Chain A
Amino acid sequence: SYVLTQPPSVSVAPGKTASLTCGGDNIGRKSVHWYQQKPGQAPVLVIYNDDDRPSGIPERFSGSNSGNTAILTISRVEAGDEADYYCQVWDTSDHWAFGGGAKLTVL
Chain B
Amino acid sequence: QAQLQESGPGLVKPSETLSLTCSVSGYSVNSGYYWGWIRQPPGKGLEWIGSISHGGYTYYKPSLKSRVTMSVDTSNNQFSLSLNSVTAADTAVYFCARSLRGGWTVPFDWWGQGALVTVSS
**Which A residues, 79 to 107, have Cβ-Cβ distances below 8 Å to chain B?**
86, 88, 90, 93-101
**Pair A42/B111 contact, Cβ less than 8 Å:** yes
Q: Does B46 contact A (CB under 8 A)?
A: yes
In this complex, how many residues of chain B approach chain A with their Cβ under 8 Å: the count is: 23
From A54, A88, A94, A100, B62 is in contact (CB under 8 Å) with A94
Tell me whether A98 and B45 are in contact in the complex, defined as CB-CB below 8 angstroms, given that A42-B112, A54-B109, A93-B62 are known contacts: yes
Question: Using a Cβ–Cβ cut-off of 8 Å, how many residues does chain A contribute to the interface with B?
Answer: 23
Residue of B nearest to A30 (CB): B105
Q: Is the interface of A mostly helix, strand, loop or mixed?
A: strand
Most chain A Cβ neighbours within 10 Å, of B36, B46, B112: B46
- CB-contact partner of A98 in B48, B60, B62, under 8 A: B48
Query: Given A45-B100, A95-B59, A95-B61, A86–B45 Cβ distance below 8 Å?
Result: yes
Residues of B within 8 A of A (CB): 36, 38, 45-48, 51, 59-62, 95, 97, 100, 104-105, 107-109, 111-114
